[in-house]
Amino acid sequence: MDTSVLQNLGSTWSADRMSEFIAECYDRRVLMTVLLNFASNWMLGRLICEVSDTHIQPRLATGWMGLGTEEETAKELVSRDVYIGSRARMGRLFEGRDHIKGPTQKLGLTPLFEDTSVLPPNELLVVPVMISGHLAALLLGEPRRFRLGHRDAGLGDELSVLIDLVADAGAQLRIILKSAKKGLLPPENERIPWHMIGSDAAMRLHEEVKATPSPSTSQSILCEDSTGDFVPFQSGPSSGSFDRNLTKVGATPYRKSVREE
């Protein structure tokens, strides 16, 4: 899509408004896109990546600079899967942590940008999206030096706002997946809280959603056909760049969403 309602929806919202939207949204793609937009307060280029058993799969991208337009660059980034070795190995990176921030290469995430026109950022901020205690996806991006609108405030405590909302989104995804398995999802035209968007924007967004196909991978958390069967991590020998560099990057303890407790 070109400049659109969905492309910017949520980027200027308050945390309270975001929390309300997340709790009322039953469209996975819209939910995660709005979360991606809200993250622009803390990140420049941003990605939502699904984590499968062996790969990281970029699903949504925005804010990156490449050789083409932003839309063309986004398509480059979401056009392939990136091998990571195992979901368990990546999961161990986040055990007891609600985010990781460190050099892209040391985090082992440089392959996300290989074979694209996007130069890998020097540093990445990565927030895990947990569903039922299991790593389902990653929100990651190049960290801003200052949060938008607060030039004298670094990431620090401000980052907790984003982390809490990502946890809320994971909890809502769990509700959506369970409802989908039981056939209890609301009708398609009632899965987005239109009343929070405004009448004109809601009408435009409704047309955008109808015109944009969902990802084709049936097990994608962004696809309405997904059953969302996430299996527990299987512990195994520690290897690879994720584990070797764990002590070299910043992290803070993981906090559950209130809705998970």
Q: Which of 143, 137, 173 is nearest to 155 (CA)?
A: 143
The pTM score is 0.79
Q: What is the pLDDT of residues 222-244, one digit of tens each?
A: 655 444 454 333 333 322 344 43
Alpha helices in 122-258 (DSSP H): 159-181, 199-211, 241-244
Rounded to whole angstroms, the Cα distance separating 36 from 43 reads 9
Adjacency order of strands within the sheet including 97-103: 82-83, 55-62, 43-51, 134-143, 123-131, 97-103, 250-253
**How many CB atoms neighbour CB 196 within 10 A?**
18
CATH superfamily of 5-260: GAF domain (3.30.450.40)
Q: Which of 155, 151, 168, 164 is nearest to 43 (CA)?
A: 155
Structure token digits, residue 16:
């309270």
Q: For the chain, give the mean pLDDT.
A: 78
Q: What is the pLDDT of residues 119-147, one digit of tens each?
A: 999 999 999 999 988 889 999 999 987 65
Domain positions in the chain = 5-260
Contact 138, 128 (CB under 8 A): yes
Q: Give the DSSP H or E segment for 46.
A: strand 43-51
pLDDT of residue 104: 93
- Which residues touch 157 (CB under 8 Å, ≥6 apart)? none
Structure-token match 């509700």, residue found: 175
Residue 194 has pLDDT above 50, yes or no: yes
